[in-house]
A and B are shown apart, each in its own frame.
Chain A
Amino acid sequence: MNVQLDFLTVLEQWPLLITGVSWTLGLTAVSSFFGVLSGLGLAWVQTQDWPIPRGIIKVYVELIRNTPFIVQLFFIFFGLPQLGVHLSAEASSVLAMIINLSAYSTEIVRAGIDSTPAGQVQAAESLGLKPVQIFTHVILPPALFRVWPALVAQIIIVMLGSAVCGQISTEELSYSANLIQSRNFRAFESFIIAAAIYLFLSILIRALLNRLGKNLIFKGLAQNG
């Protein structure tokens, strides 16, 4: 088989690719920050003795984890306007990603909290620490340390999932690749380049977050267990 690859006609469109990468990274950064933060909060609520909020969070987590991301995205972009809520394509994308990541990170962090031995909590209580102090100083650090790889993996999944945001005209990387290939009919090359960029971004983000975890969040924790 004689396949003629022409990467140049795709790379000529580099401004589009740069726009795409910027949007993909921007969406991922914002949604990771707020998604994980809200996940921490919701996971904390799950450890409390409040049946009604816990029930609501349980329903939310199950709803998001058992429906496709693209449906959630379409619901926000095409569905909400019927209720009078008009969000731009970009705002809809970031909101959908936050809601999605928040549900998954709630479950991931909750798993970490569950694995903290009850003895440690009782020890903290007998030392007279307040519940909030116990959560932020005794429960959360080792819990986050244990689930950090899972959390990083989920952030990568959300970044790759942002590829469908192009469906509502957010100009992320897949949108750029699609636009380029609909202009010059170089589908093979466009998507090879897009795949290579995604791969590079994933490796980069994973390395960055692992480093961030080791040097900032869990400083000293690794040695002490």
Chain B
Amino acid sequence: MNSASISIKKTLTKIRAVALVIGLLQLAHFGYAQNALETIQKTKTIKIAIPTDFPPYGFVGLDLQPQGLDVEMAQFIAQKLGVKVELVPVSSPNRVPYLQTKKVDLVISTLGRTPEREKVIDFTHAYAPYYQAVFAPKTLTIKSFNDLAGKTISATRGSLEDTELTKLAPPTAQIKRFEDNSSTVAAFVAGQVQLVATGASVAASMIQKNPQLDAEFKLLIKDSPCFIGVAKGEDALRARVNEVISAANKAGELERLSKKWLSRSTGDLPE
């Protein structure tokens, strides 16, 4: 054998190897990507990522069981799909990676739809409101942003609440800016400010822990509803979950969840 034929043979082997790898990759791709819904139906279980540190959306109750709006939504979807639910607790930063690496089928974890996230995962319709708002004791009458004139309001510096409220509130409103959510809430709880501007989850846990404040929702600053995250390309699963959400919305099921956990209507949920 001359050196030329050896070289050709080597090249052929290489091509075959590359083709095999490509084939395997494609196989793996198909075996994975299109089948999430089928796998769920076959195994009769769906893995859903939920928060456990984000009341009232997801938190651990006194009985050590996860509960909250997101948790109930996860159980609801599993029930509608007729499968068992396996709840996977995730933290805020690892919600998306869990989905990307297929450790879970769905992420129901107060996930907002952002352009950055849309590049790596897909979203279903919105299922619950999330919002930043102004909260104050029931005795204080606040009907519009103009009523904030002359009032003191605490907000976390640089947060969405801070920047939006600075635009919306009259100039005589005193926005007291703090370093983090806990200081912002502490200033309100200590009575150092009359109102507090913060996210729905922070406010809910504040009200829950300090019933003596008798605080309630006053003004909406901004809506940023929660969506369910689905891995990119899982269109069958996404379509099925969207059906469930739309039906639940029509049946008033989403409204009931929102009223129960957030004491507020869902408002218009975007699709």
Q: Say whether B183 contacts A167, CB under 8 Å.
A: yes
A179 touches B157 (CB 8 A): yes
A169 interfacial contact with B, CB 8 Å: yes
| Nearest Cβ on chain A to B174's Cβ, whole angstroms | 9
Closest to B163 in A: A183
A26 within 8 A of B: no
Identify which of residues 64-93 in chain A touch chain B, using a CB-to-CB cut-off of 8 Å: 77-78, 81-82, 86, 88-89
The residues of A that contact B177 with a CB separation of less than 8 Å are 169, 175, 179
With a cutoff of 8 Å between Cβ atoms, the chain A residues found around residue B158 in the complex are 179, 182-183
B186 at the interface (CB under 8 A from A): yes
| Interface check B191, CB cutoff 8 A | yes
A179 to B191, CA, bound (A): 23
A residues in contact with B178, CB < 8 Å: 167-169
Question: Are the C-beta atoms of B187 and A78 separated by less than 8 Å?
Answer: yes
Residues of A within 8 A of B190 (CB): 77-78, 81-82
What separation, in Å, do the CA atoms of A126 and B154 have in the docked complex?
Answer: 63
Whether A89 lies near B179 (C-beta < 8 A) is no
B residues less than 8 Å from A77 (CB atoms): 187, 190, 192
- B157 in contact with A81 (CB, 8 Å): no
The residue from B163, B176, B192 contacting A81, defined by CB atoms under 8 A apart: B192
B residues 146-199 near A (Cβ < 8 Å) are: 154, 157-158, 162-163, 176-179, 183, 186-187, 190-192
**How many residues belonging to B are interface residues under a CB distance threshold of 8 Å?**
15
**Bound CA–CA A86/B157 (angstroms):** 22
Could you say which residues of chain B place their CB within 8 Å of the CB of A168?
178, 183, 187
Assess whether A81 is in contact with B191, with CB atoms less than 8 Å apart.
yes
A77 and B176 CA atoms in complex are apart in Å by 13
The residue that A169 contacts in the complex, of B154, B163, B191, with Cβ under 8 A, is: B154
What CA separation (Å) do A178 and B178 show in the bound complex?
A: 10
Q: Are B192 and A86 in contact (CB under 8 A)?
A: yes
- For the complex, give the distance between the alpha carbons of A78 and B193 in Å: 11
Q: Which residues of B contact A175 (CB under 8 A)?
A: 177
- Complex: chain B residue closest to A185, CB-CB: B158
Chain B window 31-56, contacts with chain A (Cβ cutoff 8 Å), 1 for yes, 0 for no = 00000000000000000000000000
Instruction: Please judge, given known A-B contacts A86-B191, A89-B176, A167-B178, whether A78 and B154 are in contact too, CB under 8 Å.
Output: no
> Given the complex, which residues of A lie within 8 Å of B191, measured CB to CB?
81, 86
Instruction: Write the chain B residue with the least CB distance to A84.
Output: B191
A167 to B176, CA, bound (A): 10
Known A86-B191, A169-B177, A169-B178; contact A78-B157, beta-carbon cutoff 8 A? no
A82 to B178, CA, bound (A): 19
Which residue of chain B is the closest to A87 with respect to CB atoms? Answer: B192
A133-170 Cβ-contact flags toward B at 8 Å (1 or 0): 00000000000000000000000000000000001110
CB distance A78 to B186 under 8 Å?
Answer: yes
Cα separation A183 to B164 with both chains bound (whole Å): 11
Complex Cα gap A4–B270 (Å): 40
Shortest beta-carbon distance, A80 to chain B, in Å? 8
Known contacts A89-B192, A169-B178; 9 further A-B pairs (Cβ under 8 A): A78-B190, A81-B192, A86-B192, A167-B179, A167-B183, A169-B176, A169-B177, A175-B177, A178-B157
Q: List 24 A-B contacts (CB under 8 A).
A: A77-B187, A77-B190, A78-B183, A78-B186, A78-B192, A81-B190, A81-B191, A81-B192, A82-B190, A86-B191, A88-B192, A89-B176, A167-B178, A168-B178, A168-B187, A169-B176, A169-B177, A169-B187, A175-B177, A178-B157, A179-B157, A179-B158, A182-B158, A183-B158
Interface residues of B (CB under 8 A from A): 154, 157-158, 162-163, 176-179, 183, 186-187, 190-192
Residues of chain A touching chain B, judged by Cβ–Cβ distance below 8 Å, are 77-78, 81-82, 86, 88-89, 167-169, 175, 178-179, 182-183
Nearest 9 pairs of A and B residues by beta carbon: A182-B158, A169-B176, A81-B190, A81-B191, A78-B190, A78-B186, A182-B157, A167-B179, A169-B177
